[in-house]
Amino acid sequence: MAKSKNTTLTVDVGTTKLAQMLAGPHHAHISELEQEFDVVIRDESTVFKIVGPVNGVQEAGLVIKALLNIARTRDFNTDDVIALIRHGADTEHSMASISTRKKTLVAKTTAQSEYIRAIQNREIIFGVGPAGTGKTYLATAYAASQLEAGNIDRIILTRPAVEAGERLGFLPGDMKEKVDPYLRPLYDALYDMLPPERVERAIESGAIEIAPLAFMRGRTLSNAIILVDEAQNTTSMQMKMVLTRLGENSKMIISGDPSQTDLPSGQISGLKEAVGILKDVQEISIIKFTNKDVVRHKLVGKIVEAYDRHKANYSKSPDS
């Protein structure tokens, strides 16, 4: 069969500044497009010349044009390029977003967009899936935006300290020092969304509260956004307890990966159980992510896929 002929498409982006943004640091964005669509892209000042098979050239051209539209309104990085490649060059216009003082986050996958819309419209939201899909980051961004807008009085950060067996009294330091290691991902996201001094003031005043899951029993949480992270490590009793803490004008966002539980062997994950029990409650949204939604480094997605394949093969083994 004759090999398809190459074609050339020229895209003029207008200015060298936009061309540099589109090319990316060390031409990282161009490299992604070349690898994905089997094309060669020549960067000639303000013009990109795309050479290769017709379909690949057309697809690469669409992504470059979509990136050009993004570049006119906000910064972007290689993750955005990968998202457009994976999910289509037209997805940027339909994706949900969250605006905070420091940045605007636009969903990079369909699942992320559904997750953001669920967070914006429901009171209890489950984000379930592998690491690197943005579950914690997007939830924290939304909470920060609502605190800044004055729509809530406080953000409550909680996760089960399963490595400490919930026996936090035996750990050194005050309560914040005891639980800081378990809440670091949430802190990191907060500092990305708000100025550091704003975060520190909010922690000191209680507007951002550190609440170990074991210490939430008996409370009613009103005018707040409660972020329950690493929820796969909750027991059945803990999950029911935290779900029933929801008060007036509050929202609870629960995230975790059921495949990564640190609970003792044979103990049911409260997250997995809750998703099954509550799946038909219309007021609750359950958004499921897959390894295709991983938005950290593309290698993370490949790692998750490799482990999933290994787990599937192991379970089929007659010796397992």
Spell out the domains of the chain, with CATH numbers in brackets. Answer: 6-93 (3.30.1370.10), 97-311 (3.40.50.300)
What count of other Cβ atoms lies within 10 Å of the Cβ of residue 176? 11
Give the CA-trace dihedral at 168, 170, 171, 172, to 10 degrees.
130
Give pLDDT, residue 164: 40
pLDDT tens digits for range 89-145? 665 556 788 988 788 888 888 899 999 999 999 999 999 999 889 999 999 999 999
Three-state SS for 150? coil
Q: What is the mean pLDDT of residues 285-312?
A: 81
Beta-carbon contacts of 241 under 8 Å, excluding residues fewer than 6 positions away, are 216, 217
- Give yes or no for a contact between 15 and 46, defined as CB atoms under 8 angstroms apart: yes
Token pair 């359950």 is found at 286
Kindly list the distances between the CA atom of residue 40 and the CA atoms of 6, 61, 83, in Å, as whole numbers in the listed order.
10, 12, 20
Q: How far is it, in rounded angstroms, from Cα 45 to Cα 198?
A: 42
pLDDT tens digits for range 273-282? 999 999 999 9
- Give yes or no for a contact between 270 and 240, defined as CB atoms under 8 angstroms apart: yes
Residue 277 tokens, joined:
């029990």
Strand bridging mode 124-128 / 251-256? parallel
Instruction: Report DSSP state, residue 168.
Output: G
